[in-house]
Structure 1
Amino acid sequence: MRQTEFIYGYYFTQDDQVNKITSLENIDVCKPHWLHFDYTLPSTKLWFEKHSQLPTVVSNALLDEETRPRATPLNDGVLISLRGVNLSPNSDPEDMVSIRLWVTKNKVISTRRRTLLSTKDIASDFDNGCGPKTSSEFISVLTERLISRMSNTVYEIEENISDIEEKILISSTHSLRNELSATRRQIISLRRYLSPQREAMAQLLSDKITLFTSEEKIQLREATDQITRFIEDLDSIKDRAIVCQEELNNTLAEQMNNRMFVLSVVAALFLPLGFLTGLLGINVGGIPGAENSNAFGLFIIILIAVVVFQIWLFKKKKWF
């Protein structure tokens, strides 16, 4: 497989020298290393089947289209699946990007379909000579980068809800309802992925997994606690969104009731006027007052008097 057919490849070293893998044909499997693939490429599937020397269950998991966050110890390694927010242009952050990893003491093999900026950052660290020194440190750094970008997304969602709350106090419109619905969908989708992510992070801390040092476990525990805080924040934001939805519905309903009330008052004012003019228009035996030149003016005065009486009556009844 040529370098163009895998995304990143680096050796883990204890110094700050860049040790990049340029070809899988010449890779030194005895050295600790990281390989990152796009699992949708046919060449990737062929390499996993013919040359990876991985257990079948591991290869299948790394090439699987559908997966959920997990951390499963298997023989001398750990099969990990994590998700990160999608920060690509014109994409929704809640459309999470998954990464699958097979981690042993001496190697990390990871696969993805869409670009994950966290792995891109780690590759840049390797190029700058400051990448992770071990496979376990790689996982610790990766989870930290994933969490960091999630915090920005949760903060943006909270800001959106705050803006919507302020807009509701100023003016409530149907476009605001659409904006609120989109934010609620974003909250639900993001929380749905964070819950299993927290479980996967907790599994990494189990006694069955011995890859991590005490310091790395502290970092993983902090990342797990951070995800828990994200979930709690999302639950709080979700409750605020529900309150906003109820307030918005009440305001829009009140606006509709006010409009209907105005229309009802107008209809009530013109109902007797229409009745009187209808009586004059039936033309049975001639229109009353047709021979009197002042009849039209008197009729207008009568109509005005009727309207004034109705307005007085409505105000007395406190109908408006």
Structure 2
Amino acid sequence: MLHNQCPVFAYLLDGNGGGREVGWKEIGEWKPEKGILWLVSHPGGGETQRWLRRASGLPQEALEALLATNNRPRCVTFRQGSLVTMLLVNPSRQPMDDETITVSIWIDSHRLIAIRTAVTHCFSEIRHEIHTHEGPTRTDDILAQVAEKIIARMEPLVLQLGRDVDDLEDTILLNPSAKMQPELVALRHRLIILRRQLVPQHEVLSVLQQRNPWINETNRQFIQETQRLLHQQIGDLDSTRERAILMQDEITANQNRKLNETMKIVAVFTAYLMPANAITGLLGTNIEGIPFQTGTNHSFGFILEVFFLFLVMLVSYFIFKKKKWFD
């Protein structure tokens, strides 16, 4: 184990599945004939930065990309080797706080340097295999396994998002309430972000399959299988996103139906009462009082007006009923 402020480890592989951990002294004295060097560190590691800048001999563009913390997935091939950047999402208990870890890798025939922005368990199994002498024998063995583990760790998150949509779908089918809208919007946001992170990695794996001297045919086929898994994950995300869109459309349609029903009730009652209101206005009831008054006896005028209004509303009722405006 290397000793500095950041978690870091390095191995010198023997080419037969085994290896041993080494420190900065041996890293500084490393030469290709001594074995395959595998170094994992953090971009903020002081010793790591000094060694990379002064002794690694990496191209300047690759060096800057390795030490950057906001890289996008990509694969760039140089004369000496290749630079591979991939993203790993660590799901959080708070859905909107999922942690995205950047893993940048330099690979050539004799060494693999991995810089990650946070602790990840993608390397743990490989380290265990080295300790049991069943580990990688080439740098591309490490690369192929790391790529597969990064993509495989996405699978539970993709499946969980699918289950979340299933649960929401069941709830919305029973009661498409507008209260589900915020949760559905948050879920769609997670789907968009995850897909945006996965799609560029599909291109990274495509580039890795191109022929170059530091990736053999076996690992090329292994990377191809990893790409197929990633393609399936992207397809599942697309399917889940489409279902989420349909559910949001269902909620919107239900809101529109309720609004239309409310507006219909208001319109029907307004139209139903309008003739009676027009008659009372025409007879001057709201201005001069009850019409057809005879002296001090108001009963005749009142009864006549009530009867007339009742007749008008009764006719209106049958007209509305015939046109099914009350349905």
Please indicate the TM-score interval, normalised by the length of the shorter structure.
0.7 to 0.9
CA contact (8 A) 2:4 2:45 kept: no
Distance 1:19 1:169 in 2: 58
Rate the CA distance shift 1:119–1:41 in 2: closer, same or farther, 3 A: same
- The CA deviation at 1:257 is 0.7
SS in 1 for 2:24: coil
Mean Cα displacement is larger for which, 215-224 or 262-271?
A: 262-271
SS in 2 for 1:84: strand
SS in 1 for 2:119: coil
SS in 2 for 1:85: strand
Distance 2:262 2:141 in 1: 64
Match of 1:7 in 2: 8
Matched, 1:311 2:317: yes
- The CA deviation at 1:195 is 2.4
Q: What number of residue pairs does the alignment pair up?
A: 316
- The CA deviation at 1:229 is 1.9
Task: Say which of 78, 83, 90 aligns to 2:94.
Answer: 90
Post-superposition CA distance 1:15-35 (Å, at most 9, x none): 7877333x3234352342322
Distance 1:298 1:52 in 2: 107
- The CA deviation at 1:62 is 0.3
Match of 1:218 in 2: 221
Distance 2:111 2:24 in 1: 14
Distance 1:99 1:205 in 2: 19
CA contact (8 A) 1:104 1:135 kept: yes
Mean Cα displacement is larger for which, 96-105 or 132-141?
A: 132-141
Mean Cα displacement is larger for which, 88-97 or 158-167?
A: 88-97
Distance 1:18 1:4 in 2: 24
> Bigger radius of gyration, 1 or 2?
2
Q: Which runs of 5+ in 1 are unaligned?
A: none
Match of 2:25 in 1: 25
Matched, 1:147 2:151: yes
Matched, 1:177 2:195: no
SS in 1 for 2:213: coil
- The CA deviation at 1:108 is 1.6
Matched, 1:250 2:253: yes
SS in 2 for 1:105: coil
- The CA deviation at 1:170 is 1.3
Distance 1:231 1:295 in 2: 79
Post-superposition CA distance 1:246-295 (Å, at most 9, x none): 3332222112111211222333344455556775443x3x5557855798
Q: Percent identity over the alignment?
A: 26
- The CA deviation at 1:71 is 2.3
Rate the CA distance shift 1:313–1:152 in 2: closer, same or farther, 3 A: same
Amino acid corresponding to residue 154 of structure 1 in structure 2: V
Mean Cα displacement is larger for which, 50-59 or 221-230?
A: 50-59
Q: Which runs of 5+ in 2 are unaligned?
A: none
Post-superposition CA distance 1:292-315 (Å, at most 9, x none): 579878877776665555433321
- For the aligned residues, what is the CA RMSD? 3.4
Match of 2:42 in 1: 38
SS in 1 for 2:5: helix
CA contact (8 A) 2:4 2:46 kept: no
Distance 2:304 2:19 in 1: 103
Matched, 1:234 2:237: yes
Distance 1:129 1:213 in 2: 21
Matched, 1:60 2:49: no
Rate the CA distance shift 1:138–1:287 in 2: closer, same or farther, 3 A: same
Task: Say which of 90, 93, 112 aligns to 2:116.
Answer: 112
Post-superposition CA distance 1:150-180 (Å, at most 9, x none): 2222222222333333333211122333333
Match of 2:139 in 1: 135
Distance 1:185 1:42 in 2: 37
